[in-house]
Amino acid sequence: MPSALLGHPLSLIQYLDLKTYLVGDINTKVDRASMAHSLEVREPLMDHPLVEWLSNLRPNSSCATARASCS
């Protein structure tokens, strides 16, 4: 993640979520549950090029910010 985007609270939260919560919690649970039931699970939004592209978007271009400014 570019260091310039880490100054924005939303970018920091997204970065921490990607590095901690997804890896240590959600992805692990999905992996274990799918293996327990012999399922092949794909996580399409975890595609490396997509995550990299999304992490370079400016925080003010997010959906939540756009909706709030349009209301």
pLDDT in tens, 16-31: 888 888 878 888 888 8
Amino acid (1-letter code) at residue 13: I
Q: Is 60 exceeded by the pLDDT of residue 32?
A: yes
| Per-domain residue ranges of the chain | 5-70
Q: What b/e readout covers 15-48, taking b as 16+ CB neighbours within 10 angstroms?
A: eeeeeeebeeeeeeeeeeeeeeeeeeeeeeeeee
Nearest to 43 by CA among 52, 25, 30: 30
pLDDT at 33: 92
Residue predicted with more confidence, 2 or 34: 34
Contact (CB, 8 A) for 62 and 10: yes
Q: Is the pTM of this model over 0.75?
A: no
* pLDDT tens by residue, 37-55: 999 988 767 778 888 888 7
